[in-house]
Amino acid sequence: MPTGTIATSPKFQFLDSNGNPLAGGTLTTYLAGTTTPETTWQDQALTVTNTNPITLDSRGECVLWLDSAKEYKFILENAVGVSQWTQDDVSGAQSVAGLTGIFTKFTDLAASSGSSLVGYLPEGVGAVATTLQSKIRESVSVLDFGADLTGAEDSGPAFRAAVASITPAGGSVYIPAGTYKVQGAIGDASNTAVFVPSYVRLIGASQGGTKVVPGANNVVCFRFIGLNGGLENLQIDNPGTVFSNVSGIRLAPIDETQLITRSDVEFNVVTNVSIRRLQEGLVLKCGPTVAGADSYCYYNTFTNIDIRNTTIGVWLKVPNSTLGSGCNRNRFISVRVGETGCNTGLQIDAGDTCQFIACSFEGIQAGTSPNTVPTAVKIAYNTLSYGCVRNQFFGLVIEGCTRDVDNDNDLTEFYGWFGTGTYYSPSSRPLAVNFTASKQEALALVATNELSRGRTATQVVDLALTANGQTILMEDGGEFANQSFILRLSKGGGASGIIELKYGSGVLLGWGGVASSYAGGASLINPSDGVLSLGQNQVARAAIDTSGNFYPAVDNAYSCGKSGNRWSAVWAVNGTIQTSDERQKNNIKPSDLGLDFINALNPVSYRWNIGQNVVTVTETGDDADGLAPKSVIITPREGVRTHYGLLAQQVKMVLGAKDFAGFVHDKETDEMGLRYDQFISPLIRAVQELSMRVAALEAKLP
């Protein structure tokens, strides 16, 4: 249906200030901003020119066509040449053809490629201009590829297309809040809904906001197949347990049965993910060894993972070939598995040197598969190349589980764990490290009937340290006559509750009540009263109490500094307090040093030859232990400030043979000094003598 357009005026009419037609008036036209006359026309084709100025007819009208490529200045005058107004920067209306071009551009903007026509300039100095399309394409969303956030339709194709759009370069795929049903592609034997290849991260809105649910049985929701991928901030759930044998996250080859192609699944990160009501929560399985080259499922990290109501939470599975590598050196931090329906929290069938930090397993009590006895942590034993050795647990919490630990590997290490169930070892294998041995004993460790490495609760436990391949501290229940450095921990017995670091037979560092005496060295002792003492040979020399007071361990026994080892300055809010209790003094007599003594002294000003020694420490190279020895350089600096005082030698000369504690002579160094506080009494005596003289003189005045 045709559309109409509003008509423009065929003639322009000009009026005077009273609104009357400006008959006989003139319109003069110039180029905008100048006094250069510019032509106007009487026709659209710009073939018939107007006069310049244009004389208006009796109705104050004229025909006026402008060049659309130019701007004009208009000056309107009446018939006698009086200016009515001036208007600059006047342009003509757009032609129909021009308007058609504008409308065409609006249509282009509305097209799917319209964002490529809109510019974008980031804020900031040095920002580079681009298009809105390029800016938006810096991030990818599954909604860009048709994902259904209501969960009604299969969003698997949209997820896979979004990932493919940034492969192989990599990047992030955003999964907005919503529920997404996923299932594997038709013909995909792995039945994987979403593959996570190298350098691709899938990021949800939050654990509660973005939910991924299976759309069929036997689905693997996410499968990592490369390096440096990521998955974060979402929930994988199987509401009502509608579908069976669903796996949440797998780090494994696409074809887990083949033996001809090796795979590397490494350095991936899964964080802030919750898993609900699945058969398997998190599965790691290494690929095959091919022509002597191992596959790898190494160095992956899992943090803040919450797995509930899932048959097996975390499973490090045996590879499909008997040779090769396990799932090694992976890190699990703050992983929690438990609640109704859980049979196994963690099972390690192939994996060594993995670390489990602050992981919790709670309420695992259901079913008989994969373990007949529901178990929180199960560690297998095997002699194959992939092994299950040196897996480490730090701060492990197990509560309300049928069996806490099923460990069949004597190289498993526990560094602190809390459990309310039992420890079980089918082959009576002790833990390599168990820093909670007393807890194990309380849980009836009947497999070995002993604590870590056969220690009882009252035996000394010594640890081993090595440097450059040579043992300097070894595990042994007795003393180490042939070792230099010894760390001794005791929890009872002959030496009650102590920690000692010894060098030979001398104690370098000690804590607690010590029953034995030390042959040499220094000890730092922290007894039950909380006082921190520094001493030698079991003799405390100085101490710091719980109020922060620093003081000598024995009253009136030690000096602060000595001749040749002086402090450069002492900073204090108040001066020193010197004991002056009469009860602690004897042979008390009036001062025999007074005015004569003071008058004989020679006060001087001076500067120190050495105002301060500057200490510089430098490294001189590497020693046999790999530690750089230090070279200490002491550089004397001449004194620059002027001091006022006395000279010890001159004071000695004045005193003669008289004993005066204000004068000090260290005969070992021949260094002399003065105790200036000792001069206060002679000064007081001198003032008193002067006062008496003044009083006597005043008495003689008339």
Give the separation between CA 666 and CA 681, rounded to whole angstroms: 24
Average pLDDT of the residues in 505-514: 53
If one compares 144 and 410, the residue with the highest pLDDT of the two is: 144
Identity of the amino acid at 459? Q
More confident: 424 or 277: 277
- In percent, the amount of the chain with pLDDT more than 70 equals 79
Res 247: pLDDT? 97
Nearest to 172 by CA among 134, 191, 199: 199
Among 157-161, 415-419, 444-448, name the most confident range: 157-161
State the pTM of this model. 0.55
pLDDT over 50 at 183, yes or no:
yes
Residues 321-338: tens digit of each pLDDT: 766 678 999 999 999 999
In angstroms, the CA 605 to CA 584 distance is: 37
Q: How confident is the model at residue 133 (pLDDT cuts 50, 70, 90)?
A: confident
Helix H or strand E encompassing 161: helix 156-165
Q: What is the pLDDT of residues 376-405, one digit of tens each?
A: 999 987 666 567 888 999 999 999 999 999
Please check whether residue 331 is in contact with residue 302, taking contact to mean a CB–CB distance below 8 angstroms: yes
Nearest to 470 by CA among 485, 489, 448: 485
Q: Is the pLDDT of residue 279 over 60?
A: yes
Average pLDDT of the chain is 82
Element (H, E) at 85: strand 83-90
Q: How many helical (H) and strand (E) elements, i.e. helices and strands, does the chain have?
A: 7, 48
Q: Are 319 and 350 in contact (CB under 8 A)?
A: yes
Q: Which helix (H) or strand (E) holds 643?
A: strand 643-645
Could you tell me the two tokens for 693?
A: 């003289």
Which tens digit of pLDDT belongs to each residue from 328-377?
A: 999 999 999 999 999 999 999 999 899 999 999 999 999 999 999 999 99
Q: Of residues 162 and 17, which shows the higher confidence score?
A: 162
Indicate if the alpha-carbon torsion angle 639, 642, 643, 647 is positive or negative: positive
Task: Determine the Cα–Cα distance for residues 204 and 178; give it in Å rounded to an integer.
Answer: 9
The torsion region of residue 447 among left (phi > 0), alpha (psi -120 to 50) and beta comes to alpha
Q: Give the per-residue SS3 of 352-414.
A: CCCEEECCEEECCCCCCCCCCCCEEEEECCCCCCCCCCCCEEEEEEEECCCEEEEECCCCCEE
| Digit-coded pLDDT (tens) for 147-169 | 999 999 999 999 999 999 999 99
Q: Yes or no: say if 224 and 251 are a contact pair by the CB < 8 Å rule.
A: yes
Please check the confidence at residue 175 and state whether its pLDDT lies above 90: yes
Q: For strands 360-362 and 392-399, give the pairing.
A: parallel
Beta pairing partners, 308: 276, 338
Whether the per-residue pLDDT at 440 is higher than 60: the answer is no
Q: Please report the pLDDT score of residue 477 as a whole number.
A: 38
pLDDT score of 417: 80
pLDDT for 641 beyond 80: yes
DSSP structure string for 491-529? EETTEEEEEEEEETTEEEEEES---S--SSSEEEE--TT
Ramachandran quadrant class, 119 (left: phi over 0; alpha: psi -120 to 50; beta: rest) = beta
pLDDT, residue 478, reads 38
Q: Report the amino acid identity of residue 205.
A: A
Sign of CA dihedral 665, 669, 671, 676: negative
Q: Which domains does the chain have, with CATH numbers?
A: 1-93 (2.170.14.10), 462-552 (no CATH)
Mean pLDDT confidence for 23-36: 92
List 511's β-bridge partners, or say none.
499
Higher pLDDT, 115 or 6: 115
Q: What percent of the chain has pLDDT above 90?
A: 45
Q: What are the pLDDT digits (tens) for 300-321?
A: 999 999 999 999 999 999 887 7
Over residues 457-503, the pLDDT tens digits come to 333 334 444 333 444 443 333 333 334 445 555 444 444 445 555 55
Give pLDDT, residue 475: 39
Using only C-alpha atoms, the chain has a radius of gyration, in whole angstroms, of: 47
Look at residue 23 and tell me whether its pLDDT is greater than 70: yes
- Average of per-residue pLDDT across 91-100: 62
Higher-pLDDT residue of 105 and 161 is: 161
Indicate the residue type of 25.
G
State the pLDDT at residue 99.
55
Residue 18 confidence (pLDDT): 86
Measured torsion, CA atoms of residues 40, 45, 48, 50, in degrees rounded to the nearest 10? -20
pLDDT for 667? 87
The CA distance from 102 to 69, in Å, is 16
Reported as a single tens digit per residue, the pLDDT across 605-615 is 989 898 888 88
Mean pLDDT of all residues in 523-550:
69
pLDDT of residue 476: 38
Mean pLDDT, range 545-566, rounded to an integer: 77
> 391, 332 in Cβ contact below 8 A?
no
pLDDT of residue 495: 42
Is residue 495 within 8 A of residue 508, CB to CB? The reply is no
